[in-house]
């Protein structure tokens, strides 16, 4: 996904990561912190206490206009009409063939004003799609450079936030406020990608370092990298765009049917209706190893020794104490079924299960 030869972009926290001796790595064209002290320790700290993550790489768009007449409703597969102002909704944007162009979160700022948060690797592609399909009367702006973002995630995140953003601390699940933090305009939403109680804090890039310092001044807060984020999202069964799904995957195949509204008109809907009628070629499956062995992206899935699918994501789960993963199978597999995982032949056994892998979290606390 990274453009060859293009220098990696850095976030306003680059020097802060260096001071913390973070291991850095390329992600979606950005030089990002992969880990600080260690992926497993960071994952455990997030589920037990609270961590902050540099997520400045993600993209943000603004759309001004009525959901229907602006064309925005047609661009995303989730229903926006029923979204209340001050609330967020997870959605996907599809191509004509029903393939997922990106997964994103829509923030309804007011009746006819929206913020859309997209994956870093997809900013250009998404911008193209929106500008092509939105009505000329709608106002579209890519404000990715105007916002930085730090995610504060974990059961103690609310307690930490109460100290300097009491209003934001009171937010309900999947709602947000536009407020001021550290003397600057800010957006805080009660969202995240970890499965824990958590917040995403948007601030102008110039203020991001100050916010990072402010958060880490609280002894409960520790920095966590993208490696930890990947473990936590997989423990919840959340998909990662570009790895678990791409433009050739429909949301029906990706297990995202509950996030689409087939009763409204949107790009890709005819293809989805057709697929619903004719059946899917592949089915989302989740599984846990019977050992500490980790399934890996690209591993194959075997049933009775016969290849029947592929692993799209896998890792070791510190909270399950086993390897966990997700993938696609040619036919639906029932929870409890034993499968083999390996490169060319089954190497170790896993059991099909129902996500999330970690059942008890502070997500809705």
Partner 1 sequence: MAIPENLKYTKEHEWVRVEGQVGTMGITGHAQEALGDITFVELPKRGAAVTQFKAMATIESVKAASDIYAPVSGTVMEANAQLEAEPGLVNQSPYEKGWIARIAMSDPNEVKNLMDAASYAAYLKESH
Positions in the binding site for partner 1 (CB under 8 A): 23, 35, 38-41, 227, 231, 291-294, 296, 315-316, 323
Comparison of 264 and 300: residue with beta carbon closer to partner 1: 300
Instruction: State which residue, 181 or 288, has the beta carbon closest to partner 1.
Output: 288
Cβ neighbour number for residue 160 with a 10 Å cutoff: 22
Q: Which lies closer to partner 1 via its Cβ, residue 274 or residue 292?
A: 292
CA pair distance 52, 42, nearest whole angstrom: 10
| Under 8 Å between Cβ of 346 and 305 | yes
- What is the smallest separation between the CB atom of 323 and partner 1, expressed in angstroms? 8
CB of 342 to partner 1, least distance (A): 11
Nearest-approach distance from CB 293 to partner 1, in angstroms = 5
255 versus 323: smaller Cβ distance to partner 1 = 323
Distance in Å, CB of 292 to partner 1, minimum: 4
Q: Which is nearer to partner 1, 114 or 287 (CB)?
A: 287
Closer to partner 1 at the Cβ: 39 or 80?
39
CA distance 133 to 360: 41
Least distance from C-beta 218 to partner 1, angstroms?
Answer: 25
By beta-carbon proximity to partner 1, the closer residue of 46 and 191 is 46
Can you list the pairs that 77-84 forms with residues at least 24 positions away whose Cβ atoms lie under 8 Å? 77/251, 77/259, 77/260, 77/261, 77/266, 77/268, 77/269, 77/272, 78/106, 78/259, 78/260, 78/261, 79/261, 79/263, 79/264, 80/106, 80/108, 80/114, 81/264, 83/108, 84/108
**What is d(CA 245, CA 223) in angstroms, rounded to the nearest whole number?**
28
Residue pair 151/52 in contact (Cβ under 8 Å)? The answer is yes
Give the residue among 123, 115, 92 at the shortest CA–CA distance from 200.
115
Beta carbon of residue 286, minimum distance to partner 1 (angstroms, whole number): 19
What is the phi/psi pair of residue 173, to 5°?
-55, 130
The least distance separating partner 1 from the CB of residue 296, rounded to whole angstroms, comes to: 7
Please tell me the distance from the alpha carbon of residue 24 to that of residue 16, in angstroms, as a whole number.
Answer: 12
Residues 6+ apart with CB under 8 A from 146: 60, 204, 205
Q: Pick the closer one to partner 1 by CB: 39 or 208.
A: 39
151 vs 224: CA distance, rounded Å: 10
- Within 10 Å of residue 73's Cβ, how many Cβ atoms? 19
């Amino acid at each position: 996904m990274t453009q060859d030869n293009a220098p990696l972009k850095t976030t306003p926290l680059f020097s802060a990561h260096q001071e913390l001796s973070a291991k850095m790595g390329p992600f979606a064209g950005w030089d990002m912190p992969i880990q600080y002290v260690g992926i497993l320790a960071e994952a455990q700290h997030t589920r037990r206490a609270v961590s902050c993550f540099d997520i400045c790489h993600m993209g943000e768009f603004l759309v001004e206009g009525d959901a229907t007449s602006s064309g925005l409703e047609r661009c995303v597969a989730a229903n926006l009409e029923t979204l209340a102002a001050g609330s967020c909704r997870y959605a996907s944007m599809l191509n004509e063939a029903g393939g997922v162009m990106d997964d994103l979160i829509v923030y309804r700022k007011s009746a006819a004003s929206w913020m859309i948060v997209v994956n870093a690797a997809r900013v250009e592609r998404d911008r193209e799609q929106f500008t092509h399909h939105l009505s000329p009367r709608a106002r579209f702006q890519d404000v990715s450079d105007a916002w930085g973002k730090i995610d504060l995630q974990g059961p103690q995140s609310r307690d930490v936030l109460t100290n300097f953003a009491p209003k934001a601390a009171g937010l309900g699940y999947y709602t947000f406020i536009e407020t001021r933090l550290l003397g600057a305009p800010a957006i805080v939403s009660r969202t995240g990608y970890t499965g824990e109680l958590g917040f995403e804090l948007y601030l102008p890039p110039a203020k991001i370092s100050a916010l990072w310092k402010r958060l880490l001044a609280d002894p409960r807060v520790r920095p966590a990298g993208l490696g930890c984020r990947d473990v936590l999202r997989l423990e919840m069964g959340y998909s990662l765009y570009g790895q678990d799904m791409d433009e050739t995957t429909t949301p029906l195949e990706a297990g995202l049917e509950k996030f689409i509204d087939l009763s409204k008109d949107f790009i890709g809907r005819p293809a989805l209706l057709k697929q619903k009628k004719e059946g899917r070629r592949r089915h989302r499956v989740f599984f846990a190893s019977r050992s500490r062995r980790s399934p890996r992206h690209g591993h194959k899935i075997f049933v009775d020794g016969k290849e029947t699918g592929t692993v799209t994501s896998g890792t070791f789960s510190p909270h399950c104490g086993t390897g966990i993963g997700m993938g696609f199978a040619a036919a639906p597999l029932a929870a409890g079924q034993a499968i083999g995982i390996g490169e060319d032949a089954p190497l170790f056994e896993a059991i099909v299960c129902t996500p999330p892998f970690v059942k008890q979290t502070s997500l809705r606390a």
